[in-house]
Amino acid sequence: MSILHKAFFRNTWRVVIALAVIVGVIINTLEPIALSAVFSYYTIQSNILCLVTAIWLIAREAGHSRLPEPKYATIKVGVVMAILLTGLVFHFMLSSALFAEPHSPRFYLGNALVHYVVPAMMFFDYLLFDKKGLLSRTSPFWWVIVPYAYCLYVFIYSGLCGGRFAGGAKVPYFFFDYEKYGYGGVLLWILLISAFYIALSYGLVALDYFLGRKKLGKN
């Protein structure tokens, strides 16, 4: 495959990511809750981050980004980790309760796009297209800034505009429910998810190192 064809394939892949985000987010805005609440879900915010990243990657393909490779890798894989957290937390902690009752096909499509399709495509974007072996052991501690910043945002938003999420909840996810679990319980949930996230991040750093060494060995 020529360099031109490879670039076309990469750009097409990223256009599909962007379209999946746009369609998924639009469908979610049709749910009967305030728009401010819709855009206060980590799912929606991390998907929008993927949309911005997809546009950036297309621009980079055209030569409009001169960011050094190690910094590029840290930022790009940080976005991949952010959206992987979306998919994994949804699948293992939220989906069973959300799908306990029947919903419209539109609802299932919107959730599939933002929770499964976009995370999978972003992960394979990294696997298929990115140069490996550029991540450092400190990368996960940069990546964790995104979910921690979201936690801060949630408590500020909920304190100012509580009661606007699905079912009238004051918080977007059950593990943020300080009225049910207390602040200590919420902190414990955050620490548990953080431990999982950092472990997963180091797993990806190890994979990146292994793939980088493997390619170096072939060369």
Looking at residue 219, its amino acid is: N
What pLDDT is attached to residue 1? 60
Q: What is the pLDDT of residue 3?
A: 67
pLDDT of residue 167: 80
Cβ 139 vs Cβ 74: under 8 Å: yes
Question: Domain of 87?
Answer: 3-218
Q: Domain tally for the chain?
A: 1
Structure tokens at 55: 């546009």
Position 118 scores a pLDDT of 98
Alpha-carbon distance 175 to 166, whole Å?
14
Would you state the pLDDT for residue 103? 84
Q: What is the mean pLDDT of each run of 10 residues along the chain (219 residues)?
A: 80 97 97 90 98 96 83 96 98 89 90 98 97 94 96 90 79 93 96 96 96 70
CA distance 111 to 116: 8
pLDDT, residue 102, reads: 81
Residue 169: per-residue pLDDT? 87
